[in-house]
Amino acid sequence: MTEHLIIDGNKAAASDGQTFDVYDPSSGDALATVAKATKIDVDRAVNAAHNALESNAWGGAPPAERGRVMIRIAQTLRDRAEELATLESRDNGKPLKQARTDVHVAARYFEFFAGIADKIMGNTIPLGPGFLDYTVREPIGVSAQIIPWNYPIQIGARGVAPAIAAGCTVVLKPAEDAPMTALRLGEIALDCGLPPGVVNVLPGMGPEAGAALASHPGINQLTFTGSVEVGIAVAKMAADNVVPVVMELGGKSPNIVFADADLDTTATGVANAIFQNAGQTCSAGSRLLVERKAHDALVARLTERAKQMRVGPGVTDPDMGPIISKKQLEAVESYVRIGEKEGALVAAGGSRPSDASLAKGYFFQPTLLDRVSPEMRVAQEEIFGPVLAIITFDDLEEAVAIANRSQYGLVAGVWTRDINKAMVIASKVRTGQVYINTYGAGGGVELPFGGYKKSGYGREKGLDSLASYTQIKNVCVRFA
């Protein structure tokens, strides 16, 4: 069966008829054949999005009606959760229960932003007698969205929902490694009454379809999630057309643990933060900064948890699934070897599992790298796998300095019973989100999310994300 592009409400083959294969990373078996969008297809999709915008069928609809359509999308995602979660699990490899959560989070995005569609308000600005000055927040236009393979349905919904709530139209390019649920999302949106052309979905290769989309003069805004390298390239393409971008580029987020923390709860939080989705999460807590006094007790607990984790095919609902591809698996493996050469100690995992039944998939064991120092490559570079770098600190100032000694700044976690320590850390870390005695917030749909430094700019999720999808028009009236 071949999956098609979605352009202007229709399923279409690529302009040149080409396709690519998508693989199940748990087995290496082919999962589907998917139409591979060309530059011509990108042009067609951007034109469709532009025409849908101009027709005003969506942006000009009563805001409450836009909200109702979005509620239907949320409900349909929930009704089809099992099917979508299974597909996501096969496509990406993640455990079924994590894929179920992803589908529910995707539904939450549509609910959350459905409720906002009729609350996108402007201001009045006092200019004195005889004047009325007001602002209107208009849709920014055609939003191009390039998303990665790690959370396809979640990240797809995270960009599409606020964009369409604001009255924009969208061209979505999913990642070549996991495009399936983004296509389903596009189909569901149409089935629920979204007018044709409002959401177009173009699976394809980054350098071809992705680059054609980012450099297209017909787009008005670009949302990108992926690597720093590609993010920079894509932002430059958009800059040529003065197109604003939102960049979400990953991180090396620290979990900072003080000796007074409840170490059992902390160990669970720290392990989830790195091993969820096999560490392939932009906001993964990939550095553990632990106060020297608590090091041994916490690492013992983490080692115990890492060893107990069941690694296996996503659809068997293990604790951890495979890495997305052979290439990513090899990258993760090579980082562990680099860490060892740099003097780190493998305290758990460190290699592929020995279980022969897993040999065809891209599995790696949950891995703890102990005795890491802050300047090592494994402490500085994003590994994007289930590998935790463990660094020791002696006092709060040192913890802050190590946490901030990073080119990234996406998320930080603090674990302590001392409110003063927690608040000082929260004020001093240079990251877009801080969690105290927790990490993540079940999807965090409501919370603004985005980076400091090379983790990117602009904010997704929450009300703040609307800034990306609206533009402010000021109207000044003289009536004296």
Given the rule CB under 6 A, which of 57-65, 221-229, 265-273, 311-319 is the region that contacts ligand NAI? 221-229
Give the three-class secondary structure for 344.
Answer: coil
Question: Where would I find the H helices in 115-204?
Answer: 152-165, 180-191
Question: Where would I find the H helices in 286-362?
Answer: 295-308, 326-342
Residue 176 touching ligand NAI (CB under 6 A): yes
Whether the CB-CB separation of 431 and 439 falls below 8 Å is answered with no
Residue 34's DSSP bridge partners are 3, 20
What minimum distance in Å lies between the beta carbon of 307 and ligand NAI?
A: 25
* Helices 96-114 and 63-79, axial angle in degrees (round to 10): 170
In this chain, which of 26, 154, 225, 392 binds ligand NAI, going by CB under 6 A? 225
In this chain, which of 178, 202, 282, 358 binds ligand NAI, going by CB under 6 A? 282
Residue 294 touching ligand NAI (CB under 6 A): no
Q: Is there a catalytic annotation at residue 282? A: yes
Residue 284 touching ligand NAI (CB under 6 A): no
CA angle 108, 185, 74 (to 5 degrees): 30
Residue 207 touching ligand NAI (CB under 6 A): yes
What minimum distance in Å lies between the beta carbon of 226 and ligand NAI?
A: 3
CA pair distance 381, 49, nearest whole angstrom: 38
Report 154-173 residues binding ligand NAI (CB under 6 A).
173
What minimum distance in Å lies between the beta carbon of 112 and ligand NAI?
A: 20
Tell me how long the chain is.
Answer: 480
In this chain, which of 146, 194, 235, 346 binds ligand NAI, going by CB under 6 A? 146
Tell me the Ramachandran region of residue 462: left when phi exceeds 0, alpha when psi lies from -120 to 50, beta otherwise. left
Identity of the residue, 94 or 295, whose beta carbon is nearer to ligand NAI in the bound complex: 94
In this chain, which of 93, 195, 197, 210 binds ligand NAI, going by CB under 6 A? 210
Q: Please identify which of the residues 176, 248, 333, 382 carries the catalytic annotation.
A: 248
CA pair distance 459, 442, nearest whole angstrom: 18
CA pair distance 13, 4, nearest whole angstrom: 5
CA pair distance 256, 278, nearest whole angstrom: 21
What minimum distance in Å lies between the beta carbon of 450 and ligand NAI?
A: 11
Given the rule CB under 6 A, which of 104-112, 142-150, 267-275, 368-376 is the region that contacts ligand NAI? 142-150
Q: By rule CB under 6 A, what string of x and - marks binding of each residue 56-95 to ligand NAI?
A: ----------------------------------------
Q: Please identify which of the residues 176, 192, 282, 382 carries the catalytic annotation.
A: 282
Whether the CB-CB separation of 120 and 195 falls below 8 Å is answered with no
Q: Is there a catalytic annotation at residue 83? A: no
Residue 406 touching ligand NAI (CB under 6 A): no
What minimum distance in Å lies between the beta carbon of 223 and ligand NAI?
A: 11
One-letter amino acid identity for 42? V
Q: What share of the chain is helix, strand, coil (3-state, %, to 5)?
A: 40, 20, 35
Residue 232, both tokens: 């920079």
Residue partners of 148: CB distance under 8 A and separation at least 6: 155, 175, 225, 226
What minimum distance in Å lies between the beta carbon of 306 and ligand NAI?
A: 21
Identity of the residue, 243 or 282, whose beta carbon is nearer to ligand NAI in the bound complex: 282
Q: Tell me how many residues contact ligand NAI (CB under 6 A).
A: 25
HEC profile of 355-372: CHHHCCCCCCCCEEEECC
Residue 150 touching ligand NAI (CB under 6 A): yes
In this chain, which of 87, 249, 336, 369 binds ligand NAI, going by CB under 6 A? 249
Residue partners of 103: CB distance under 8 A and separation at least 6: 77, 78, 80, 81, 84, 85, 88, 153
In this chain, which of 275, 384, 393, 408 binds ligand NAI, going by CB under 6 A? 384
In this chain, which of 24, 102, 111, 382 binds ligand NAI, going by CB under 6 A? 382
Residue whose tokens read 């680099």: 338
CA angle 280, 430, 277 (to 5 degrees): 10
Residue 248 touching ligand NAI (CB under 6 A): yes
In this chain, which of 71, 233, 424, 436 binds ligand NAI, going by CB under 6 A? 233
Residue 123, both tokens: 């201001």
What minimum distance in Å lies between the beta carbon of 407 and ligand NAI?
A: 12
Residue 234 touching ligand NAI (CB under 6 A): yes
Phi, psi (degrees; rounded to nearest 5) at 435: -115, 135
Residue numbers at the binding site for ligand NAI (CB under 6 A): 146-150, 173, 175-176, 206-207, 210-211, 214, 225-227, 230, 233-234, 248-250, 282, 382, 384
Q: Which residues belong to the active site?
A: 248, 282
